[in-house]
């Protein structure tokens, strides 16, 4: 015989301690005071499923849906329960997304039983802290000398990514990396009369999107970054080294090169992202 609904009061006979935290959450207030359908009106059983058999044999984890990693409920079953209400919208591309393929459960990032965050029913206090649980490399990147202002609270991971899936592999919230960058850096969008090909192709050709120990989140320091492409004869192909820096000029016999100090190549090629000046073919104005 299949399990049947027994009601919230029966659940609270054993789980009264859980209710002290749950009562403050958005799910509790919605299910109890303004349910959208008969399923939500079941409150606890709206998510955990009918509880009659669980009430009889509490030791058997198979008789109810659990939302923790040490429970025996498959991730697909857990997520199906959440998606029964939270479908469409930002979750339109969840099926087949990177998180879905890696068997990330909704409950790995969200905890509707406790009000840990201001919104989003997150498992941690903030979006960034929640993402850091699985992405420690990105946490380290944001602590580098030059970084996106995540630690300062001026942006979050979801300003660039949609953790519930998107049409792009890194789950960007736009169709391309450049479109994401243009959201904040609109002056780099163009179109320009004189375009810089690597810039138009991909911002990440020159910049690390999370953080770098080089200025402006650059992949490597100037002029070496520029010389990865501009290695022809004359000055673009000249080998520059530490003996030509401003610091070396203070040493006996030392001499600084204007192409090694300050902004290096950009001392002259100031409009490196593109130029609309009639004489800006070399991005100098």
Q: How far from the centroid of its chain's Cα atoms is residue 67's Cα?
A: 23
pLDDT of 3 over the 80 cut: yes
**pLDDT at residue 238, rounded to an integer:** 73
Provide CB contacts within 8 A for 220, sequence distance 6+: 214, 228
**pLDDT at residue 270, rounded to an integer:** 93
Q: Residue 261 — very low, low, confident or very high, per pLDDT cuts 50/70/90?
A: confident
Cβ atoms of 283 and 269 closer than 8 Å: yes
Looking at residues 10-14, what average pLDDT do you find? Answer: 93
Looking at residues 180-200, what average pLDDT do you find? Answer: 95
* Whole-number percent of the chain with pLDDT over 70: 99
* Whole-number percent of the chain with pLDDT over 90: 75
Q: Tell me the per-residue pLDDT of 29-85, one tens digit each, with 9 for 90 and over.
A: 999 999 999 999 999 999 999 999 999 999 998 999 999 988 989 999 999 999 999
Looking at residues 155-171, what average pLDDT do you find? Answer: 95
Looking at residues 161-169, what average pLDDT do you find? Answer: 94
Of residues 132 and 244, more confidence is placed in 132
**pLDDT at residue 250, rounded to an integer:** 77
Looking at residues 122-147, what average pLDDT do you find? Answer: 96
Of residues 123 and 255, more confidence is placed in 123
Provide CB contacts within 8 A for 46, sequence distance 6+: 31, 35, 39, 40
Q: How far apart are CA 152 and CA 148, in angstroms?
A: 9
pLDDT of 233 over the 70 cut: no
Q: Check: pTM over 0.85? Answer yes or no.
A: yes
């Amino acid at each position: 015989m299949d399990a049947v609904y027994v009601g919230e009061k029966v659940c609270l006979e054993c789980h009264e301690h859980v209710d002290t935290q749950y009562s403050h959450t958005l799910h509790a207030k919605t299910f109890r005071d303004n349910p959208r359908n008969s399923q939500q009106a079941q409150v606890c059983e709206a998510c955990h499923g009918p509880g009659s058999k669980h009430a009889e044999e509490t030791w058997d984890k198979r008789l109810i849906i659990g939302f923790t990693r040490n429970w025996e409920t498959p991730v697909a079953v857990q997520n199906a329960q959440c998606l029964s209400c939270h479908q469409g919208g930002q979750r339109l591309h969840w099926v087949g997304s990177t998180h879905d393929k890696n068997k990330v459960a909704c409950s790995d990032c969200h905890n509707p039983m406790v009000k840990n965050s201001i919104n989003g029913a997150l498992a941690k206090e903030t979006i960034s802290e929640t993402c850091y649980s699985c992405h420690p490399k990105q946490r380290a990147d944001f602590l580098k000398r030059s970084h996106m202002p995540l630690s300062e609270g001026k942006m979050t991971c979801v300003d660039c990514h949609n953790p519930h899936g998107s049409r792009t592999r890194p789950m960007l919230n736009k169709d391309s990396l450049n479109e994401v960058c243009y959201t904040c850096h609109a002056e780099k969008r163009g179109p320009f009369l004189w375009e810089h090909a690597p810039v138009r192709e991909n911002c990440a050709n020159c910049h690390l999107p999370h953080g770098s120990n080089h200025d402006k989140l650059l992949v490597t320091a100037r002029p070496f970054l520029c010389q990865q492409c501009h290695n022809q004869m004359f000055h673009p192909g000249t080998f520059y080294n530490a003996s030509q820096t401003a610091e070396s000029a203070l040493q006996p016999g030392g001499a600084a090169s204007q192409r090694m100090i300050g902004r290096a190549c950009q001392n002259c090629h100031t409009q490196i992202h593109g130029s609309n000046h009639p004489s800006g073919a070399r991005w100098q104005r």
